[in-house]
Amino acid sequence: MSALMPTYAPSDLAFVKGEGVYLYTADGRRFLDFYAGIAVNALGHAHPHLVEALKSQADQLWHVSNLFTIPGQIKLAQRLVDASFADRVFFSNSGAEAIEAAIKIARKYHDDNGNPEKYRVVCCHNAFHGRTLATIAAGGQEKMLAGFAPAVEGFDHVAYGNLNEMRAAIGPETAAMLVEPVQGEGGVYGAGPEYLKGLRAIADEFGILLMFDEVQCGMGRTGKLFAHEWADIKPDVVATAKGIGGGFPLGACLATEKAAVLKVGNHGTTYGGNPLAMAVGGAVLDVLLGDGFFDHVIEVGNALEAALNNLVEKYPHLFVEVRGQGLMLGLKCNDNIENRAFKTKLEAAGLLVAPAGDNVIRFLPPLIIEQAHIDEAIAIVEKVADAEGGA
């Protein structure tokens, strides 16, 4: 028995090496990784540019704390600002911390403006925003809140994709809305550009902040740096993480000048934005912002989506529909199969995918996949689907 707190129920698979889109076990078995550490390994495993950035920084300096100037932070923040809606960046180590910063911004913004009574954040059902006390309250899912009462105060929940419900939920105490442009854990579901535009209009009408959780759907996953860009709107705050470090722990909370209300003494973190993270984050951005990279994501995203749609047509008794955008795609399973059980069979056949809510199988491959990887993945799904029988 392991000395670990049993907070996870991991598969028995233990990998010792990763290369590109593949992972290897000690006994030499190879797996096609369409899980990418839950959308973290955006550039696959052991990407030479990232390895080089980490190694050369490791030779120079690891950590100094935020009590000293970290040039890499200033540089990476500027690059994120130049490439996005934002004017300011706060670096964290994880997605939940990036969301925490956003929640603190929502309260501080209105406090600064003489409206301290505005502190509530409207979130959506089926949301996932992290596992800290505030972010489980923001997520609002009973299964994550159970046992941890009292829940952090100040979160309301409405149906995802429903602008009428959102509008009706805004009250005199509302400070902000916090929404995933594409829901990840909840079942890989995006409500579309009109919804995001409608949220912007509601935020403007009521003078509240529009905050997006792009921890999973951001950093190129949908074929733009941030998923909200598809709606051609500017949010006030965006929290991101996962892909931003390509596997090195890193998160960021981005804000417009108006919403960048966190000042000296208001917020902080010991590790956030340390030199190692900044070096790798910069290397990830080099690749993401390189010529034609997002075009590639869109192209392979469309190809994977089409291939998954073919599976729905070929196995209507197993699969219901394809959801999501870019390389954040979900295959919804029919009631007669269970996504986790099917995922385990895919794993045994050499393909790693992630389960999500609503009986969905998530495909979150590294953004560097090629058509050949899609063909290989689909062939494995077909092999497992054929063995299911019961057409």
Ligand X SMILES: *Cc1c(COP(=O)(O)O)cnc(C)c1O
Residues that bind ligand X (CB under 6 A): 94-96, 99, 128-130, 180, 184-185, 213, 215-216, 241-242
Residue with smaller CB distance to ligand X, 184 or 190: 184
Q: Which is nearer to ligand X, 226 or 315 (CB)?
A: 226
Shortest Å, Cβ 113 to ligand X? 27
Which of 118/240 has CB closer to ligand X? 240
Nearest distance in Å: CB 317, ligand X = 30
| Minimum distance of ligand X from residue 235's CB (angstroms) | 14
Give the shortest CB-192-to-ligand X separation in angstroms.
17
Q: What whole-number distance in Å separates Cα of residue 274 and Cα of residue 67?
A: 11
Q: Give the nearer residue to ligand X in terms of CB position, either 180 or 305.
A: 180
Which CB, 284 or 384, lies closer to ligand X?
284
Query: How far apart are alpha carbons 247 and 276 in whole angstroms?
Result: 12
Q: Which residue's CB is nearer to ligand X, number 140 or number 184?
A: 184
Provide the 10 A C-beta neighbour count for residue 36: 30
CB 135 within 8 A of CB 169: no
Three-state helix/strand/coil letters over the chain: CCCCCCCCCCCCCCEEEEEECEEEECCCCEEEECCHHHHCCCCCECCHHHHHHHHHHHHHCCCCCCCCCCHHHHHHHHHHHHCCCCCEEEEECCHHHHHHHHHHHHHHHHHHCCCCCCCEEEEECCCCCCCCHHHHHHHCCHHHHCCCCCCCCCEEEECCCCHHHHHHHCCCCEEEEEECCEECCCCCEECCHHHHHHHHHHHHHHCCEEEEECCCCCCCCCCCCCHHHHHCCCCCEEEECHHHHECECCEEEEECCCCCCCCCCCCCCCCCCCHHHHHHHHHHHHHHCCCCHHHHHHHHHHHHHHHHHHHHHHCCCCEEEEEEECCEEEEEECCCCCHHHHHHHHHHCCEECEEECCCEEEECCCCCCCHHHHHHHHHHHHHHHHHHCCC
Q: How far is the CB of 49 from ligand X (least distance, A)?
A: 23
User: Of 176 and 307, which CB lies nearer to ligand X in the complex structure?
Assistant: 176
Cβ distance to ligand X smaller for residue 45 or 242: 242
Write down the residue that tokens 């959506």 correspond to. Answer: 124
Q: Which is nearer to ligand X, 175 or 178 (CB)?
A: 178
